[in-house]
DNA sequence: ACCTGAACACCGTTCAAGT
DNA sequence: ACCTGAACACCGTTCAAGT
């Protein structure tokens, strides 16, 4: 079978879920595909591009239009919750998305998505929400896998509750500040 | 001169500012100190520990008690602004702090600091602010150095304005939601 | 106690050469 | 057009041995 971006991203995702981001190396991806490491560089300019593609794959359900050819309209609370759910559903998902956020196009897509989900679309509101969401899930996943390693000690935190409260704080603040600004 | 944590962290910081985080390697730090790479491992258990120490050094003015032996009390807006200022004053500062945030002790210290700066100390408020602050500055620094590389194209964004508005949104939201919760 | 030398097991990336 | 082989220039970490 011929190599292409899709199959390479498939392999990357499977390595990610099996062993984590630090083991998602170009060489291991190549080995999984039974191909020389250099082969990947015909399809991706560098590793950053593969990480970007991996992040896009993780967020695909939110980014891609559905079968009817449109992205379903949701409210901001739901959009953020789904963003979190998608990142959580993959090992090191938030780390991958955070790394890919340096790509201006993905960042803009996500900001636009969130802005559109707000009652009153707002650039700064979307910016604030996006960076809270990614930061919070990053912290959540880091803490969880630290607990797994050290042996499960640590107060149980209701991450979902904490997350949605944070989102609500920002949404409420956004409404309250619009009059002042 | 004998090696110790302080001198090693000094060298790490100077490499960071000169060449960025990706060039702050154990081997380069050792070379700068004219020492074998293995020597560092007598003082730091691994690289993560050195990164943690580097983050602490960057945030020292906020973390350490002043000459009078107490940390000065500030409001949340100022505390966040100083957090941003400290990260910005070092190359890849936000990336270093973000990486060190996986250390639970530093994370807790910062959350406590922010919580204490709020009118009504609030765990979730501190959590929300901290992750927004780090995420926002991370984005700011990434975008700025991308513009330097690609040659200065891109709409000018008033990062400071955007940042403080984001902080204000969260603080206002925090006040507004306390009654509801 | 503190450091060197030398090795181990990796990385990302490039590029002539093959098909 | 697409991939292999082989190299280049690195990494973090360990550890016997030295002082």
Which A-chain residues 64-123 have CB contacts (< 8 A) with chain B?
98, 101-102, 104, 107
A153, pLDDT greater than 80: no
The residues, any chain, with a CB within 8 Å of residue B107's CB and separated by 6 or more, are A139, B101, B130
Give the mean model confidence (pLDDT) for residues A85-110: 97
- Rounded to whole angstroms, the Cα distance separating B2 from B70 reads 31
- DSSP-derived letter for residue A64 is S
B72, pLDDT greater than 70: no
Taking alpha carbons only, the member of B177, B181, B90, B171 closest to residue B133 is B171
Top-confidence residue, B105 or B148:
B105
CB B153 within 8 A of CB A162: no
Is position A129 within any domain? yes
* Tally of domains in chain B: 1
Of B124, B136, B181, the CB nearest to A166: B124
Is position A76 within any domain? yes
b/e per residue B81-110 (b: at least 16 CB within 10 A): bebbebbbebbbbbbbbbbbbbbeebbeeb
Interface check for B18 against chain A (CB to CB < 8 A): the answer is: no
Mean pLDDT taken over chain B: 93
- Rounded to whole angstroms, the Cα distance separating B160 from A174 reads 18
Q: Is there contact between A25 and strand C, defined as CB under 7 Å from any strand atom?
A: yes
Residues in B touching A132 (Cβ below 8 Å): 128, 131-132, 135, 170
Is position A28 within any domain? no
- SS3 for A72? coil
Compare all CA atoms of chain B with the CA of A104 and give the residue at the minimum distance: B143
Of B125, B134, B166, the CB nearest to A128: B166
Is position B11 within any domain? no
- pLDDT tens digits, one per residue of B11-41: 999 999 999 999 999 999 999 999 999 999 9
Compare all CA atoms of chain B with the CA of A178 and give the residue at the minimum distance: B169
The residue segments making up the domain with residue B107 are 48-180
What nucleotide is nearest B39 when CA is compared to C1'? C3
Q: What is the CATH number of the domain that holds B111?
A: 1.10.357
A135, pLDDT greater than 70: yes
Which B-chain residues 118-137 have CB contacts (< 8 A) with chain A?
124-125, 127-128, 130-132, 134-136
A149, pLDDT greater than 80: no
The pTM assigned to this predicted structure is: 0.95
B8, pLDDT greater than 60: yes
Is position B71 within any domain? yes
- pLDDT tens digits, one per residue of B73-90: 679 999 999 999 999 999
Is position A43 within any domain? no
Residue B99 binned pLDDT confidence (cut-offs 50, 70, 90): very high
Among A101-105, A130-134, B68-72, B153-157, whose mean pLDDT is lowest? B68-72
Is position B161 within any domain? yes
Is position B39 within any domain? no
Q: How far is A2 from chain B (nearest CA, A)?
A: 33
Q: Tell me, in Å, how far CA of A28 is from C1' of C11? A: 11
- pLDDT tens digits, one per residue of A16-66: 999 999 999 999 999 999 999 999 999 999 999 999 999 999 999 999 876
Phi, psi (degrees; rounded to nearest 5) at A73: -80, 125
Size of the A and B interface in Cβ pairs below 8 Å:
106
Of B124, B135, B170, the CB nearest to A173: B170
Instruction: Give the closest residue to D3 (Cα–C1′).
Output: A39
Q: Tell me, in Å, how far CA of A112 is from C1' of C7? A: 52
Residue B147 binned pLDDT confidence (cut-offs 50, 70, 90): confident
């Amino acid at each position: 079978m011929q190599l292409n971006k899709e199959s390479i991203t498939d392999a990357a995702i499977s390595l990610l879920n099996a062993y984590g981001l630090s083991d998602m190396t170009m060489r291991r991806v190549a080995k999984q595909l039974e191909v020389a490491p250099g082969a990947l560089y015909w399809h991706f300019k560098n590793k950053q591009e593969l990480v970007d593609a991996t992040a896009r794959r993780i967020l695909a359900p939110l980014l891609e239009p559905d079968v009817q050819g449109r992205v379903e309209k949701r409210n901001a609370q739901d959009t953020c919750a789904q963003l979190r759910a998608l990142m959580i559903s993959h090992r090191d998902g938030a780390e991958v998305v955070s790394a890919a956020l340096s790509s201006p196009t993905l960042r803009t897509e996500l900001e636009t998505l969130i802005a559109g989900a707000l009652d009153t679309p707002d650039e700064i509101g979307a910016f604030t929400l996006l960076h809270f969401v990614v930061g919070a899930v990053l912290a959540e996943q880091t803490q969880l896998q630290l607990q797994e390693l050290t042996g499960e000690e640590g107060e149980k935190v209701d991450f979902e509750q904490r997350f949605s409260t944070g989102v609500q704080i920002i949404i409420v603040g956004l409404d309250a500040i619009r009059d002042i600004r």
